[in-house]
Amino acid sequence: MYSESLRPGLALGAYPERERSVKGGFAALVHNASGLLPGFSRGQQQRAGRFCAQVNEASLSFARLDTAELGRRARELRQSLARNRLSEPLAVQCFALVREAASRTLGQRHFDTQIIGGWALLNGMVAEMETGEGKTLMATLPACTAAMAGIPVHVITANDYLVERDADAMSPVYRLLGIRVGTVTANKKDPGLRRDAYACDITYCTGKQVAFDYLRDRLSLGHRRGRLDLQLRGLKTAEAGGSALLLRGLCFAIVDEADSVLIDNAGTPFVLARDVDCAPGGRICSEALNLAEQLEKDRDFRINGKYRDIEMTKSGNNRLASLVPRLRRAGVTTRQAGDLVIQALRAQHCYRKDRDYLVQGGKVQIIDDKTGRAMPDHAWEQGLHQMIETREGCRPTADRKTIARMTYQRMFRRYLHLCGMTGTAREVTGELWSVYGLGVFRIKPRVPVQRMAGKNRVLPTAAAKWEAVAERVRDMHNSQRPVLVGTASVADSEHLSRLLQQRGLRHAVLNARQDRSEAEIIALAGQPGAITVATNMAGRGTDIRLAQRAVQSGGLHVIATARNEARRIDRQLFGRCGRQGDPGSFEAIVSLEDEIFKKYLPDALTTAMQACIRRHLPIPGCLLTRVAQFGAERHHAGMRRRIMEMDRQFREILGFSGPME
């Protein structure tokens, strides 16, 4: 039933990980097709049902034990797991034990759907569950089972807030079972504290933090990862109390919001870098920005919005050649000068304040376009970040030199046991299987979903859209229904806030400027008549609990003001309503001037829509949305494939000296 990766004592002394190669040619076709065959999980459903029935039966005996006897039973199970490989009978006992511990400490008893989801995780799959079905509690089942078997467990989630919240919420269960829990977040800078956290039985962390710590360990380890190699080099794992390595290896990972971590984040490789003094200074950046303003759009350059890039024309190259000498007088080479002017053009035309970045405390902070959160530790490369800083009147920071790099795909494939959970995996089932070998196991909701879909309205202009949204919010507010409005950017959320203020509507705004007060804002979002305007960050991992009067008035109403470039992210936003059987509804009010339509609608279709507007004909919103999102998803999937291929080629080129990790 269970793979060799679940054998006890996995990480003792060595640095375990797996190198899973990407299949190519005919083998890849067969592998990919096998993950998409109809009924891929039908046979598994029966196995999961039998497992759940066994857990229910075993739970009866644990319910009769007092707390002291429950702790003794946990110690006995640890000893059994230490002597034997994890088997289904032992897994049944562990699940029943964890369920009873949760019932006594949290007052929450795992439902059968959560038992089935935990079984899927233990069998190396992605469990797809409706939002609000209790994935956080579900994760304790396989996490405790693996931890009691002596396997280091990483519970990986989307952001630091969820890391600390989930670890704290589930800690009473772990304490009762004698399981140590640690957290790794961005503010935990000290290597000793991070090493101690990884030395715990279960560690909650983000994908970014564990990826960078793994990359640091790889630099220390080189190609030697066996126990003897570690001893010869004086390197010890966290478990052995060493002072060099942070992790105990990549053993067992449970990835929460798996599609966000494994798919969305995979579009950008993570890079370990150090500050260097070769960044363009403020004077050079200012000169490059001044020169860029002398170039004319469409005549000298064209903007590729899809790739956020600048394409120079023949006229532009000639004009650029005449401008470059002014930068060369500042000590810049001809090639560097040309590159700096192009970066200045990108800073001016491809990146927008409050959409792509924030300016806070005299610093430029990149905004994650998938979550709406600021990423203070990230920086654009090749002088672009310094160019934007100069444009915004900030002091240019030091440039960074790459020490090591790795893709998310390669790092997560190295876990001996990888599994995940999410509410939105069906659109990326093929990619999860082909890249990570993860099948998707769909679990029916415990209570039937009462979420009602509204209209998909596409208006001609952005101004018309925002007026319609503001009026719709007022209507919902007057009917005492709580409203959540999802926006694409900080600027959009603040623009709508001004419109609501003009109408005298009290509301809360949640975007990258208020991310520290996220929990407080979300806690009040389910009150009758409450209005919450939020970027994508509010859609994941936090519960909007409805007051009784809000339930009686129809539940939470969600309005999307822009279609996301992935259907999954739309579903995440709409999934904020109608949770756990509550009533709720959603709708989309968008405009033809939205970025997704500008980037991904074919020109012929755009022209046809303009004709519809002139003739006052209805705009087919569903058709436009499907076409644009299909183009966007295909574009981003292609980018991820190219990143993987570049990663493979890069490793082959450096094969004689080893990969730069």
Q: Give the other-Cβ count within 10 Å of 2's Cβ.
A: 18
Q: Give the other-Cβ count within 10 Å of 349's Cβ.
A: 15
Lowest average pLDDT, out of 354-368, 415-429, 525-539, 585-599, goes to: 525-539
Please report the pLDDT score of residue 524 as a whole number: 85
Please report the pLDDT score of residue 56 as a whole number: 96
Lowest average pLDDT, out of 92-106, 171-185, 243-257, 604-618, goes to: 604-618
CA 519 to chain centre: 18
More confident residue, 458 or 369: 458
Question: In this structure, are 143 and 262 located in the same domain?
Answer: yes
In the chain, the number of structural domains is 3
Please report the pLDDT score of residue 178 as a whole number: 94
Looking at the domain assignment, is residue 655 inside a domain?
no
Question: In this structure, are 251 and 372 located in the same domain?
Answer: no
How far, in Å, CA of 38 to CA of 526, rounded?
A: 39
Question: In this structure, are 246 and 318 located in the same domain?
Answer: no
Please report the pLDDT score of residue 26 as a whole number: 43
Looking at the domain assignment, is residue 656 inside a domain?
no
Beginning with the edge strand found earlier in the chain, give each strand of the sheet holding 450-459 in spatial order: 450-459, 583-591, 556-560, 483-486, 531-534, 508-510
CATH code of the domain containing 315 = 3.90.1440.10
Question: In this structure, are 574 and 623 located in the same domain?
Answer: yes
How far, in Å, CA of 644 to CA of 638, rounded?
A: 10
Looking at the domain assignment, is residue 57 inside a domain?
yes
Looking at the domain assignment, is residue 566 inside a domain?
yes
CATH code of the domain containing 108 = 3.40.50.300
CA 56 to chain centre: 34
301 three-class SS = strand
Please report the pLDDT score of residue 239 as a whole number: 56
Model confidence at 644, in pLDDT bands (50, 70, 90)? confident
* Residue 394 scores a pLDDT above 50: yes
Question: In this structure, are 208 and 356 located in the same domain?
Answer: no
* Residue 377 scores a pLDDT above 80: no
State phi, psi for 83 to the nearest 5 degrees: -85, -25
Model confidence at 659, in pLDDT bands (50, 70, 90)? very low
How far, in Å, CA of 56 to CA of 221, rounded?
A: 45
C-beta of residue 250 within 8 angstroms of C-beta of residue 18: yes
Please report the pLDDT score of residue 622 as a whole number: 87
Please report the pLDDT score of residue 104 as a whole number: 95
Segment 583-599 mean pLDDT:
93
Looking at the domain assignment, is residue 497 inside a domain?
yes
Model confidence at 270, in pLDDT bands (50, 70, 90)? confident
User: What is the tens place of the pLDDT at every residue in 294-319?
Assistant: 999 999 999 988 778 899 999 999 99
Query: Residue 455: beta bridge partners?
Result: none
More confident residue, 649 or 444: 444
Please report the pLDDT score of residue 2 as a whole number: 61
Question: In this structure, are 336 and 438 located in the same domain?
Answer: no
Domain that residue 313 falls in: 278-397
Question: In this structure, are 335 and 413 located in the same domain?
Answer: no
Lowest average pLDDT, out of 38-47, 138-147, 459-468, 596-605, goes to: 38-47
User: What is the tens place of the pLDDT at every residue in 27-41?
Assistant: 454 455 555 544 445
Please report the pLDDT score of residue 280 as a whole number: 67
Cβ partners under 8 Å of residue 216, min gap 6: 246, 272
Question: In this structure, are 138 and 261 located in the same domain?
Answer: yes
Cβ partners under 8 Å of residue 206, min gap 6: 156, 157, 158, 159, 160, 163, 184, 185, 186
Please report the pLDDT score of residue 229 as a whole number: 60
How far, in Å, CA of 274 to CA of 212, rounded?
A: 13
* Residue 281 scores a pLDDT above 50: yes
Looking at the domain assignment, is residue 388 inside a domain?
yes
Lowest average pLDDT, out of 41-45, 353-357, 405-409, goes to: 41-45
User: What is the tens place of the pLDDT at every residue in 90-134?
Assistant: 999 999 999 999 999 999 999 999 999 999 999 999 999 988 889
Question: In this structure, are 472 and 581 located in the same domain?
Answer: yes
Looking at the domain assignment, is residue 659 inside a domain?
no
User: What is the tens place of the pLDDT at every residue in 194-225?
Assistant: 999 999 999 999 999 999 999 999 888 765 55
652 three-class SS = helix
* Residue 595 scores a pLDDT above 80: yes
How far, in Å, CA of 601 to CA of 41, rounded?
A: 36
Question: In this structure, are 234 and 315 located in the same domain?
Answer: no
Segment 612-617 mean pLDDT:
82
Model confidence at 359, in pLDDT bands (50, 70, 90)? very high
Segment 262-285 mean pLDDT:
76
Question: In this structure, are 107 and 180 located in the same domain?
Answer: yes
Segment 281-296 mean pLDDT:
89
More confident residue, 259 or 332: 259
How far, in Å, CA of 347 to CA of 646, rounded?
A: 26
- pTM listed for this prediction: 0.85
Please report the pLDDT score of residue 234 as a whole number: 57
Question: In this structure, are 223 and 136 located in the same domain?
Answer: yes
Looking at the domain assignment, is residue 331 inside a domain?
yes
CA 53 to chain centre: 34
Please report the pLDDT score of residue 135 as a whole number: 94
* Residue 655 scores a pLDDT above 70: no
For all residues of the chain together, what is the average pLDDT? 86
Lowest average pLDDT, out of 170-184, 372-386, 508-522, 551-565, goes to: 508-522
C-beta of residue 624 within 8 angstroms of C-beta of residue 458: yes
